A and B are shown apart, each in its own frame.
Chain A
Amino acid sequence: MQDFIDLLNKVTPDLLRGTVVTLQIATISLVLGMIVGLPVGIGRVYGPVWLQRVLGAYVTLFQGTPLLIQLFMVYYGLPDIGITLGRLQAAFLTLGLNSAAYQAEYLRSALQAVSEGQMTAARAIGMSKWQAIQSVILPQAVRLALPAWSNEAVAMLKYTSVVFLIAVPDLMGQAKILASRYFAPIQIYLIVAVFYIALVGVAYLILTLIERRARIPGLTGDTT
């Protein structure tokens, strides 16, 4: 037991540094995913047919292949065609574009769940199609998509864990170094698991709070 506490004391500073990197990657990727995912989701519902096809292909490509291969493609493959990215940049870009595909899909089904009468009523008081989307459809869709989006945000914390495989010093990256330094992989990965549980738990609590704040009677995305 004393050994374990000693080990814990030795590895915690490095693991905390890794946690900061993990949080940084998760946050930036989520925001990037939102910036890209929002127009993709809207375009998939309201865009011209050719655009819907192109965006559909984007979503299929990112949802139909493993994140890890996407990461390797971006970090190791793209330099082949002249695009060289740093480790962190590759992590942001891959996770961001991957998350964008999922976020776009959540938004798309939420947009489609808003009843047609809402658009009709908005047009009937003289709103243009774009005005109606912006001030009537989208605010409702965003609320409907919120539960799915929170799940995505929590899951993102876990998805970031693959970036250590391109040697990003995130929580897992630090763990791998520490595991070989102290010859105690099982203990260290168990400690890391607890770190992740804490991260996921806190994120879950915060997002539940946000969901409760944004709740409007008659407008929830809880389908279960």
Chain B
Amino acid sequence: MTSPILRIEDVHKSYGSLHVLKGVSLTVQPREVVVLVGPSGSGKSTLLRCINLLNPPTKGRIWLEDQEITAPGVNQDRVRQRIGMVFQEFNLFTHLTALGNVMIGLIKVRKMRKNEARDLAMFELERVGLADRAHYYPAQLSGGQKQRVAIARALGMDPHVMLFDEPTSALDPELTGEVLAVMQKLAGEGMTMIVVSHEMGFARQVANRVVFMEGGVVVEEGTPQHMFEQPTHERTRAFLRNIMQ
């Protein structure tokens, strides 16, 4: 039994009087791919933003490897460096080329020298199949290409865990395939991933575990086979039936 890479314990998150997460606990093992599903507003994206402390939890504790990252005095910037995140809206840096997007974190955060950073950035772009687009600006790339650059940018920081927040929701249907293929490849290389997604085909094929959230709590979790074929809870069944149609 290896020790978990990520341990989330009774995490709550409120915005004013709005209680979005109401006590979520989740443990993720190294190399595991966890897909979070659930209706919009169920708190999936909020949970991701709690995990990398973009919006730290109001209550509860999170461990990344051996470190409690919710403890006071923790350097949050360091934590985020170890947790990669990919956004629905890509959020590529508009003023930088694809290469520049991957390089800037290497230079500013990982303090690499420019030549070193360029080599590593090119390597990451090759990983997502975009070496030939290195000198394009975001506005010159398709949505799928943008998202793959965003994945390369996150990978450049050498993250221990990758978070994906609906990575294909803003894409035209014909562009989702290339992004999902890159994600599948990453999973095959042993990257630990937490993915919020409505892509049930991806969940079925790639996930080790599917977690169903609703109303700010985890309703049910299990293997894709369990979740898709004989979920225990009626709400899980209703949600999945709805989304499969």
Binding site for B on A (CB under 8 A): 114-115, 117-118, 120-128, 131, 135-136, 139-140, 143, 216-219
Contacts and interface: CB of A to CB of B under 8 A. Distances in A.
A219 B140 CA distance: 11
A217 B137 contact: yes
A219 B109 CA distance: 24
B236 to A, nearest CB: 30
Q: Pick the most buried of B78, B80, B150: most chain A CB atoms within 10 A of its CB.
A: B80
Given A120-B87, A131-B108, A218-B138, A126 B77 contact: yes
A123 B156 CA distance: 15
A123 B92 contact: no
Nearest to A119: B91
B137 A218 contact: yes
A139 B96 CA distance: 10
Interface of B: 52, 54, 77-81, 84-85, 87, 89, 91-95, 104-105, 108-109, 137-140, 150, 153-154, 156-157
A127 B153 CA distance: 13
9 contacts: A118-B94, A120-B91, A124-B87, A126-B78, A127-B108, A135-B108, A140-B95, A216-B94, A217-B140
Contacts of A125: 80-81, 84, 105, 109, 153-154, 156-157
Given A125-B81, A126-B77, A131-B108, A117 B87 contact: yes
Contacts of B85: 124
Q: Pick the most buried of B78, B87, B105, B139: most chain A CB atoms within 10 A of its CB.
A: B105
Given A123-B54, A217-B137, A218-B138, 19 more contacts: A117-B87, A121-B92, A121-B150, A121-B153, A122-B93, A124-B52, A124-B54, A124-B85, A126-B78, A126-B79, A126-B157, A128-B77, A135-B104, A136-B104, A140-B93, A140-B95, A216-B137, A217-B139, A218-B140
A92 to B, nearest CB: 32
Nearest to B150: A121
A120 B156 CA distance: 17
B139 A127 contact: no
Contacts of B54: 120, 123-124
Contacts of B153: 121, 125
A125 to B, nearest CB: 4
Contact of B93 (A121, A126, A128, A143): A121
B219 to A, nearest CB: 28
Contacts of A136: 93, 95, 104
**Which 8 pairs between the two chains have the least Cβ-Cβ distance?**
A218-B139, A126-B81, A121-B91, A117-B91, A125-B105, A217-B139, A124-B85, A126-B109
Contact of B91 (A118, A127, A140): A118
Contacts of B87: 117, 120-121, 124
Q: Pick the most buried of B81, B91, B154: most chain A CB atoms within 10 A of its CB.
A: B91
A139 to B, nearest CB: 5
A124 B77 CA distance: 8
B13 to A, nearest CB: 16
Contacts of B77: 123, 126-128
Contacts of A123: 54, 77, 80
A151 B137 CA distance: 27
A122 B54 CA distance: 11
Contacts of B78: 126
Contacts of B79: 126
B150 to A, nearest CB: 8
B60 to A, nearest CB: 21
A192 B194 CA distance: 70
Nearest to B102: A125
A128 B52 CA distance: 14
A127 B109 contact: yes
A122 B101 CA distance: 10
Nearest to B79: A126
Contact of B94 (A120, A124, A131, A140): A140
Nearest to A138: B95
A173 B178 CA distance: 68
B84 to A, nearest CB: 8
A139 B138 CA distance: 15
